[in-house]
Amino acid sequence: MRFRHYKGGVYEVVCEAILEADHTAVVVYRGQDGQVWVRPRASFFGTVDVEGTRLPRFVPLDPAPPDPVSPDPAPGSAH
């Protein structure tokens, strides 16, 4: 899934992982230049203060997958 950083760069999440040293959940992501980065998950999905306004550090660019559709009720059954 791709995300836009609050400073404008576009990054693709490679995977989520666990940091061996202290078991922190991290996000591994790649920039458009191919550089690979690792950031704690809480920081990746957290917010930053920009000129007094709280903004998400990363905003998803790709649409979220659709929710599973419930099957239609059988004909004649109560809804």
Nearest CA-CA partner of 42 in 20, 60, 16, 64? 16
* Cα dihedral sign, 36-57-9-1: positive
Q: What is the CATH number of the domain that holds 24?
A: 2.30.30.320
Q: Could you tell me if residue 79 is inside a domain?
A: no
Domain housing 43: 2-60
The DSSP result for 5-41, as a single string, is ETTS-EEEEEEEEE-TTT--EEEEEEETTS-EEEEEH
Does pLDDT of 16 surpass 90?
Answer: yes
Q: Could you tell me if residue 51 is inside a domain?
A: yes
What is the pTM for the complete model shown? 0.76
Total domains present in the chain: 1
Does pLDDT of 78 surpass 80?
Answer: no
Q: Could you tell me if residue 35 is inside a domain?
A: yes
Q: Could you tell me if residue 52 is inside a domain?
A: yes
Q: How much is the average pLDDT of 31-40? A: 98
